């Protein structure tokens, strides 16, 4: 399991350029005019994790299979999208289908690339998008209230619970705040998710900066980071232009290129780590002579459900999980060494899988 992240933003902020770099494809047309991406482009990218290579080397695995993330390049939103402007209804529907939003914000000056609002102001850009999403949510919720009130008066418990959540969300939205700030109990999460609100999705601000600011950011991106801190969101700095140049280089040349421009890693790595943290995702591994493979789960997932990510039969017939912490597997040079040192543990159905665990599942057929 990975996550589906929708790349959104105003036209000409670098969304499609970033998408092409992330997926190393030319599927998304990057052109200097609004709505060059009419249908959302979907691409998958491997999650870079040096731990997987280390494990494969110790186990002599013939194949390395990383976990993968899905990115959806959604055409540029404009002011009035919530009312259908600029194909807005279609774009908003595409956003509903993703788990998180990567909001690309223009943090660079370039006279050759026009800005739909005629000026470079990342906070104003963020507010334009956020306003359109909030207006769409308001419209969606207000249309449901009358029918739910009728059901609630008839004693429908589920309708009463939904109304309570909707009331809390409407209060925030009418105050100009996103629905993700609604205070709710863990047992309300499923019902809240069923509301399908655009502004309930976690947000990662991707500050698209000029090449010279790719390492430390600039004054524009600093404002975005401050905004993210205020609202409990995440932010990263990326130069989509640099990422597009890295993407077309052979793997063996990428490290030299990065070193030459004083960067330690591609921006993709930062985006992925921030996305993982945003959604509470972790990675566990299965390792053997045939393959070393990474699997993504939500933090707090118990062993049977983690096994189910591989195959539903593993979850149904789960008996136990043979578990070795990543550090122990490496230090003791593999499964045999970990077993001899007493570091291989047998965990049951209540075990919460930890990030980096090397697991072997026992199950009944």
Q: What is the pLDDT of residues 105-147, one digit of tens each?
A: 999 987 666 565 667 899 999 998 898 889 989 999 999 999 9
Domains of the chain: 4-278 (3.40.50.300), 300-363 (3.10.20.30)
Per-residue pLDDT tens, the chain, 365 aa: give them: 457 888 988 888 888 888 888 776 433 334 443 434 445 588 877 788 899 999 999 999 999 998 888 888 887 665 655 455 544 556 677 888 888 999 999 999 876 665 656 678 999 999 988 988 899 899 999 999 999 888 888 888 888 988 999 999 999 999 999 999 899 998 888 889 889 899 999 999 999 999 999 999 999 999 999 999 988 889 999 999 999 888 888 878 888 999 999 998 888 888 888 887 888 899 999 999 999 999 999 999 999 999 999 999 999 999 999 999 999 999 999 999 999 999 999 999 999 999 999 999 999 97
pLDDT of 242: 93
pLDDT of 114: 57
Residue 200 among known ligand-binding residues:
no
Q: For residue 53, what is the enclosing H or E element? A: helix 50-59
How many helices and strands, by DSSP H and E, does the chain display?
14, 12
Q: For residue 106, what is the enclosing H or E element? A: strand 100-107
CA distance 94 to 200: 15
Residue 300 among known ligand-binding residues:
no
pLDDT of 19: 85
Token reading at 65: 């299979």
pTM: 0.82
Token reading at 348: 């049951």
pLDDT of 282: 93
Residue 143 among known ligand-binding residues:
no
β-pairing, 203-209 vs 234-238, is: parallel
CA distance 204 to 18: 14
CA distance 188 to 97: 20
Most distant CA pair in the chain, distance: 69
Residue 82 among known ligand-binding residues:
no
Residue 15 among known ligand-binding residues:
yes
- Residue for token pair 């230090």: 331
Strand order in the sheet with 234-238: 41-46, 68-73, 4-8, 100-107, 203-209, 234-238
Give 331's contacts (C-beta < 8 A, 6+ positions apart).
Answer: none
pLDDT of 304: 97
Q: For residue 360, what is the enclosing H or E element? A: strand 358-363
Residue-level length of the chain: 365
Q: What are phi and psi of 95, to 5 degrees?
A: -65, -35
User: Which of 163, 226, 153, 151 is CA-nearest to residue 191?
Assistant: 163
pLDDT of 86: 47
User: Which of 113, 90, 98, 95 is CA-nearest to residue 17?
Assistant: 113
Q: What are phi and psi of 76, to 5 degrees?
A: -60, 130
Strand partners, 101: 6, 203
Secondary structure letter of residue 312 according to DSSP: H
β-pairing, 234-238 vs 63-65, is: unpaired
Residue 14 among known ligand-binding residues:
yes
The packing angle between helices 122-153 and 88-96, to 10°, is 70
Secondary structure letter of residue 36 according to DSSP: S
Q: Are 358 and 318 in contact (CB under 8 A)?
A: no
CA distance 238 to 235: 10
């Amino acid at each position: 399991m990975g996550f589906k992240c929708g790349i959104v933003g105003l036209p000409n902020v670098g969304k499609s350029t970033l998408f092409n770099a992330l997926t190393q494809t030319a599927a998304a047309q990057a052109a200097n005019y609004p709505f060059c991406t009419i249908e959302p482009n979907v691409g998958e990218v491997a999650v870079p994790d040096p731990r997987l290579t280390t494990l494969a080397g110790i186990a002599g695995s013939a194949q390395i299979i990383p976990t993968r993330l899905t990115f959806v390049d959604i055409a540029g939103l404009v002011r009035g999208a919530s009312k259908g402007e600029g194909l807005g209804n279609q774009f908003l529907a595409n956003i509903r289908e993703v788990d998180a939003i990567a909001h690309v914000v223009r943090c660079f000056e370039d006279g050759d690339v026009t800005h739909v609002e005629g000026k470079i102001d990342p906070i104003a850009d963020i507010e334009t998008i956020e306003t359109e999403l909030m207006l769409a949510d308001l419209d969606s919720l207000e249309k449901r209230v009358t029918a739910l009130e009728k059901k609630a008066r008839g004693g429908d418990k589920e309708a009463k619970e939904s109304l309570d959540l909707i009331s809390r969300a409407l209060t925030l939205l009418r105050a100009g705040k996103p629905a993700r700030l609604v205070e709710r109990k863990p047992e309300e999460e499923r019902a809240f998710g069923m509301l399908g609100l655009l502004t309930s999705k976690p947000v990662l601000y991707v500050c698209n900066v000029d090449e010279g600011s790719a390492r430390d950011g600039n004054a524009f991106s600093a404002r975005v980071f401050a905004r993210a801190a205020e609202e409990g969101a995440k932010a990263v700095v990326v130069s989509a232009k640099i990422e597009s140049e890295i993407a077309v280089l052979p793997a063996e040349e990428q490290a030299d290129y990065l070193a030459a421009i004083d960067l330690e890693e591609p921006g993709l790595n930062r985006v992925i780590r921030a996305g993982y943290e945003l959604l509470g995702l972790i990675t566990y591994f299965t390792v053997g002579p045939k393959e070393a493979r990474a699997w993504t789960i939500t933090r707090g997932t118990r062993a049977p459900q983690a096994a189910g990510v591989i195959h539903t039969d593993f979850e149904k017939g789960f008996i136990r999980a043979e578990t070795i912490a990543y550090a122990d597997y490496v230090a003791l040079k593999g499964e045999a060494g970990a077993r001899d040192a007493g570091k291989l543990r047998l965990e049951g159905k209540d075990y919460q899988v930890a990030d980096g665990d090397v697991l072997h599942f026992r199950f009944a057929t």
